Structure 1
Amino acid sequence: MTPTAPLPLTRDLVLVGGGHAHALVLRMWAMNPLPGVRLTVIDPQPAAAYSGMLPGFVAGHYGRDDLDIDLVKLARFVGARLILGRASRIDPVAKTIHVQGRPPIVYDIASVDIGITSTMPQLVGFAEHGVPAKPLGTFAARWDAFRSGDGPARIACIGGGIAGTELILAMAHALRSRDRLASATLIDRSAVLSAVSPQNAARIRRALDEYGVEVIEQAEITHLSEGHIHLASGRSVLSDFTVGAAGTRPYDWLSDCGLTMKDGFVVIDAHLQTSDPAIFATGDCAEMAFAPRPKAGVFAVRQAPVLLHNLRAALSGQPLKSYRPQSDYLKLVSLGGKRALADRSGFGFASPLLWRWKDRIDQQFMEKFRRLPAMATPPLPVPHAEGLAEALGTKPLCGGCGSKVGRTALLATLAPHQGAARDDLTPLPGDDAALLTVGGAKQVLSTDHLRAMVEDPVVMTEIAAQHALNDIYAMGARPQAATLTLILPRLSDSLQARTLAEIMATADQVMAEAGAAIVGGHTSIGAELMIGFTLTGLCDYPLTLAGARPGDVLLLTKPLGSGMIMAGDMAGAARGTDLAEALAMMRQSQKTAAEILNSAHAMTDVTGFGLIGHLKGLLSASQVGATLSVQDIPRMTGADALAEAGIRSSIYDANRRLAPDLSDAGPRALLFDPQTSGGLLAAVAPDRAQSTLKALQDAGYHAAMIGEITQNSGDITLR
């Protein structure tokens, strides 16, 4: 029986926002995807903070990672493309969603779950001296940094509802447990806890008294300054950390989308559809006009199964379901320590048992995203040819440079074909590009192609373009012309056009910024996305591998670790924030770095063969050796932990064989890690090294001195 080809994708479903309902939809979608649908998620952050555990995190009961739903891992699990950006507009007529810095995203069906934001920055001085409670991720990061400090701390919360009281109690508990609490103040322009029954308000006030929280009611705030909250009464409240938990509001851009709105919120019907049937909405950004309810996460969570059904139905022409919200819900209010208050319909009581119950509910919710089930690998056909299992190996095939052929096999194959066949071609064995002479001008020629390692074609195009441009930069040349080679997976005609438009717009922008023009290309259909560029560049004198001198200082312009992080992502072991940082690093242009390094004696870029492999090429061409200072070599966030855990990319073993005498224990494994769109490695005269390094760092590069060139030809010593 022959294997079937992947089914073509025909429809685009785009989820705007990584709120609780969308996170649940993604997980449920993975268990039963709808064939033919390309799923896209748009969110500005790689992780979404879970609101239910925020007070526990603030109090110190949970760590920062406990709070986050890792959207990168979740998207990888689902097979969705994750676009890390903030949506700014939806055009229902053109069916496009606009995200700054990239081409519009076309949708057939869309859903919005972006939560709400804060009006607090409109208060004079708040933007400079306060922190809004929403968005949660930003607040959590700011609080985490503040509570880790030293010395007495004065804190305040503006907003005396349940959310505000939970936060001030949690903050007070965290600082008291560190013997840092100097004062805590809760301020509201009306009565504190006015939406809570008198009995429960009294219970919460007792908790505030226990932590010494001063409650200031019926107070108007005029402005904030450094360390002060200024009241209309003339009083000034001292505060080193001021959080704003009042004045939540919807995001302004929603009002410009042509949808029916109420007080800035998107109106939805019982099917969770907006006034445009192709757009759904859920969570706090939506207004259930058919059954008005307060803004609470419990409704978003319970909307998720209905939303999933209706999205699938809208994409496949099936009937929709109605969502029927409950009339009331149980509110579990954290009281600072591991104690909680239960409130429903005005009745309630407080107990440590309730906190343990709340913790169990929250942990069960988060476990849905922490322990994503492993998808079973299909068994090999029986019978099958000998060697098939060995050829497949035990690791998934990496993308980017992790999927390349090893250096030993490649050089052995190419070496017989690198001789000069023409007078206008100068062979440069082992270098990044060929050198041509055209009418007296020197021109370099290079080509590079990458198997996709992320689902987003825009990000993949940026990485592939920068990766290819690095070969031109490494030769000291100026990019001139480019042709694009593209293999697309099977898509419908409309999705082909959408994908091509995104890729071409991105490629044009990257090449234009580099000073090059796209002059042509070739497309074909294959099993998966592959993007490549063939480039020419002009130079006065090529910068080759064969110029390094003993005493030269080795400079590296990017940290190592992209291969290990991408392999960790495929294995579900890499943190989403670390992957987002690595992708941003891979998209960083080396144009300015190459200009700063124009006086280097020798230069290459660090890509598929790893730092050791590319350094050996430079040493061989220059007939010198090198000493590397391992501790000075910059490494991407999270790469060390993955190295210690034994995560390796597909080509790692081939790279390791290039220098079997060198240790690869622990972080040293990163020396053999294949890099995609890696940094430039340059041998610079010692009297210019410090000034060159400073210029690189001032230009925004994570550059470092990592060693020096020695007399011992071909030898690499680690220290």
Structure 2
Amino acid sequence: MHEFPLTRELVLIGGGHSHALILKRWGMKPLPGVRVTVINPGAVAAYSGMLPGFVAGHYERAELELDLVRLARFAGARVLLGRATGIDQDNRLVHIENHPPIRYDTASIDIGITSAMPELDGFADHGVAAKPLERFATQWDAFQTAARRGEVPPQMAVIGGGVAGAELAAAMAYRLGDLPQMEITLIDRGEILSEMRAPTRHRLLETLARLRVTLRPQTQVIRVEADRVTFSDGSTLGSCFTLGAAGARPYGWLADTGLDLHDGFVSVGPTLQSSDPRIFAAGDCAHLSHDPRPKAGVYAVREAPVLFDNLRACLSDGTNATLRSYLPQKDYLKLISLGGKSALADKAGLVTSGPLMWRWKDRIDRKFMRKLKDLPAMTPPALPAQMAEGLRDEALGKKPMCGACGAKVGGDILHRVLSEQPGVERRDVLHLAGDDAALLTHGDTWQVASVDHLRAFVEDPVLMTRITAIHALGDVWAMGASPQAALMTVTLPKMSSALQEGWLSEIMQAARDVFTAEGAEIIGGHTAMGTEFSVGFSVTGLLDQPITLKGARPGDQIVLTKPLGTGVMLAAEMEMKANGRDMEAAYASMVKSSGEAAQILGNAHAMTDVTGFGLAGHLLGICRASEVGATIRLDDVPLLPGALDQSAAGMRSTIYPANRAYAAEYQGPEGARADLLFDPQTAGGLLACLSSIRAEKCLIALRAAGYEAALIGEITEGPVRLTVEA
């Protein structure tokens, strides 16, 4: 939640080294009134300095990853997991793949470079680009694992004989060098390592020869296939992993921005401003027009303090702010990995190599990563000297209150309050105690109606809107209905009118996309200003015959369509203890529609969606209404990545204790996995009871449709209870 009204938008396009450092600095020294957005295709960005060490097996994957989700949380920023595709300077909009355009007052570009070779036949389908680093790291990890298992021959080719290609070839050769059949070839259309000084080139060539790397200079690759490359002379070379490392290429969409470019890279002056003074650029995607330099991560790191100060100055109140100038060093220390735990150091013509240089490089790299991973804890606000009894525990407690379904009122409280309310007898309104949605009749037509409203747990209003829409539609799908219409309620935090318009445009587009895809229409709504962002939907649906909680039969199989764990993952993310890649999986699960799943499960005897009361609470709701019992197999319940580890570490959502109390009929084991049965789910899956034959067919169809569905147990004879088998 932002302490002051928002008046300016800062958009960081890309999660490169400069922007990662800016997020850390922003968290330490935010500028009141600015909303920061960082856009990146994935939740993590790889640190280039440690990539060869990872390829060689010296580092685990997590050691070279910069967690942008965690950094964004620390900075109070929103993170958009998508690929930027363009900039509209006239309207100050950044276009993003699968996301509404977002507005900016000031923007910065740090998207790095690519080694993709779109002009090379077959490379897009069978080749691997060295950059972007995240995709390369994933594909290399999979290949070397398969090669060690004997699933593919360890034949590799690296296209591009510069220092980057040579360094990666050495790392790959070292990693798989113990396999007798290992073959790796370094290919270049010119000379290998031609840009290096003679002493450095000689040392690197010696290393490549010792590691059994074959050199193919003056050779042109014309086609890449799954198991070979073809040269211009018609000869071929066996390769099951073909890496492209030939030079630094700019991303193509920069050409359409209208910014001044140099060979496709954004031209910037000493202040790191482009031809549009509202747009900055840093790192490899930028060309320093005042003092050109080669592409190297060291410049991005040293640009960060200058960029940080200049962005703040441009966004600050006052028009006479002085901007700093970035003056790059003439030369820099080059530390090049030599495959094993040995490195070569080169600066100003002096060259040395050996294990000592590796330890030096390793220390530098780990220090940089600690700078971005060791984030200071957020201190809670001070309380007054005199306060009401109980305020200290409520205000501070053990942890801040969760958002989403973790912020619900407990089921036992709801049950007591609602049971005290007298019902009004109407022939056209059916009161089904505890069911997912109200059931209305209009002549021969059945209609369901429900409402859901969530306080924000992510800074991105688009992602929050999509999740809330899917969450609200869950009640319609659980009754077997087709979505019909929605009324929307939005509370915006305090902000300027320009930001109000921008936020509402993004929110409405996101909501419209979700409901239109499900065959429904937004028919109205209400907006308000408040202390924090929240969004909700009142939804209706049409159906022929409702599926309710009452109808489960002994012998029915229990099907769950989505994994559990959103509650602990959101709680962990709020405390900056979740892994960004795990959060990416959690968000993907929450925005996945259950519409197709509901159609597949259309003949269920009983069905509900798993939301705030957790799997145990919602399954017991079916048992209570149907007067049956249920048994589930704990190991068969699917879980989100990271959820079990967070549960084992003691992470719990705010409503967890109330969910345990609400599920009084639970009989089963205790422990981290069992605790996830009481974890509140946001936009969770459907929970259906079907005959054995029907359940097996539905499971096959659900998995074919992309759901991580599972058969988790069966309905038993009463009394009402939930028995869990470890």
TM-score (norm 2): 0.97
Partner of 1:573: 577
Rounded to whole Å, the distance in 2 between the matches of 1:536 and 1:128 is 45
Q: Does 1:691 align with 2:715?
A: no
Equivalent residue for 2:88, pick from 87, 91, 96: 91
Rounded to whole Å, the distance in 2 between the matches of 1:189 and 1:134 is 20
Partner of 2:57: 60
In the TM superposition, 1:198-347 aligns within 5 A as 198-316=198-316, 317=319, 318-347=321-350
Partner of 2:675: 669
Rounded to whole Å, the distance in 1 between the matches of 2:97 and 2:221 is 35
Partner of 2:15: 18
Q: Output the aligned Cα RMSD.
A: 1.4
Rounded to whole Å, the distance in 2 between the matches of 1:296 and 1:375 is 34
Amino acid across the alignment from 2:160: G
Q: Which moved more, 1:521-530 or 1:238-247?
A: 238-247
Amino acid across the alignment from 2:167: E
SS at match of 1:117: coil
Equivalent residue for 2:509, pick from 505, 509, 512: 505
Structure 1, unpaired ranges of 5+: none
Partner of 1:161: 162
Equivalent residue for 1:432, pick from 431, 436, 440: 436
Partner of 2:135: 138
Amino acid across the alignment from 1:199: P
Partner of 2:616: 612
Rounded to whole Å, the distance in 2 between the matches of 1:377 and 1:459 is 27
Deviations 1:129-173 (A, max 9, x none): 321101111011111111112235122211111101100100111
Number of residue pairs matched? 715
How far off is 1:662 after superposition?
Answer: 3.5
Rounded to whole Å, the distance in 1 between the matches of 2:651 and 2:589 is 20
SS at match of 1:356: helix
Rounded to whole Å, the distance in 2 between the matches of 1:446 and 1:492 is 33
Contact 1:418 1:427 in 2 (8 A): no
Deviations 1:344-381 (A, max 9, x none): 23321112111100000000000012211111112321
Q: Does 1:678 align with 2:684?
A: yes
Q: Does 1:360 align with 2:366?
A: no
The list of structure 1 runs, each at least 4 consecutive aligned residues, that deviate by more than 6 angstroms after superposition, is none
Equivalent residue for 2:69, pick from 58, 72, 81: 72
Q: Does 1:470 align with 2:474?
A: yes
How far off is 1:293 after superposition?
Answer: 0.7
In the TM superposition, 1:379-418 aligns within 5 A as 379-392=382-395, 393-417=397-421
Deviations 1:73-103 (A, max 9, x none): 1111111000000000101001000012221
Rounded to whole Å, the distance in 1 between the matches of 2:719 and 2:606 is 15
Amino acid across the alignment from 2:561: T
How far off is 1:110 after superposition?
Answer: 0.3
Rounded to whole Å, the distance in 1 between the matches of 2:669 and 2:414 is 24
Equivalent residue for 1:557, pick from 561, 578, 585: 561
Deviations 1:40-89 (A, max 9, x none): 00000100000000111101000000111000111111110000000001
Q: Does 1:128 align with 2:125?
A: yes
In the TM superposition, 1:518-667 aligns within 5 A as 518-659=522-663, 661-667=667-673
Contact 1:157 1:245 in 2 (8 A): yes
Rounded to whole Å, the distance in 2 between the matches of 1:608 and 1:375 is 27
Compared CA separation, residues 388 and 464, structure 1 to 2 (3 A): same
Rounded to whole Å, the distance in 2 between the matches of 1:180 and 1:172 is 11
Amino acid across the alignment from 2:621: G
How far off is 1:119 after superposition?
Answer: 4.1
Partner of 1:708: 714
Amino acid across the alignment from 2:593: S
Rounded to whole Å, the distance in 2 between the matches of 1:420 and 1:552 is 35
How far off is 1:255 after superposition?
Answer: 0.7
Contact 1:664 1:671 in 2 (8 A): no
Rounded to whole Å, the distance in 2 between the matches of 1:130 and 1:584 is 27
In the TM superposition, 1:420-499 aligns within 5 A as 420-499=424-503
Amino acid across the alignment from 1:409: I
SS at match of 1:22: helix
Partner of 1:47: 44
Partner of 2:375: 372
Contact 1:109 1:279 in 2 (8 A): yes
Rounded to whole Å, the distance in 1 between the matches of 2:424 and 2:691 is 31
Amino acid across the alignment from 1:248: A
Rounded to whole Å, the distance in 1 between the matches of 2:156 and 2:603 is 54
Give % identity: 54
Rounded to whole Å, the distance in 2 between the matches of 1:122 and 1:576 is 34
Rounded to whole Å, the distance in 2 between the matches of 1:352 and 1:121 is 38
Structure 2, unpaired ranges of 5+: none
Q: Which moved more, 1:416-425 or 1:208-217?
A: 416-425
In the TM superposition, 1:192-203 aligns within 5 A as 192-203=192-203
Amino acid across the alignment from 1:163: A
Amino acid across the alignment from 2:112: G
Rounded to whole Å, the distance in 1 between the matches of 2:230 and 2:27 is 51
Contact 1:470 1:677 in 2 (8 A): yes
Rounded to whole Å, the distance in 2 between the matches of 1:96 and 1:257 is 11
Deviations 1:165-214 (A, max 9, x none): 100100111112x5365222111111111111111111111111111111
SS at match of 1:122: coil
Rounded to whole Å, the distance in 2 between the matches of 1:50 and 1:387 is 47
How far off is 1:692 after superposition?
Answer: 1.2
Rounded to whole Å, the distance in 2 between the matches of 1:644 and 1:255 is 49
Rounded to whole Å, the distance in 2 between the matches of 1:235 and 1:691 is 51
Rounded to whole Å, the distance in 2 between the matches of 1:664 and 1:525 is 44
How far off is 1:395 after superposition?
Answer: 1.6
How far off is 1:554 after superposition?
Answer: 0.6
Contact 1:121 1:132 in 2 (8 A): no
Rounded to whole Å, the distance in 2 between the matches of 1:418 and 1:303 is 67
How far off is 1:418 after superposition?
Answer: 6.1
Contact 2:46 2:134 in 1 (8 A): yes
Contact 2:116 2:131 in 1 (8 A): no
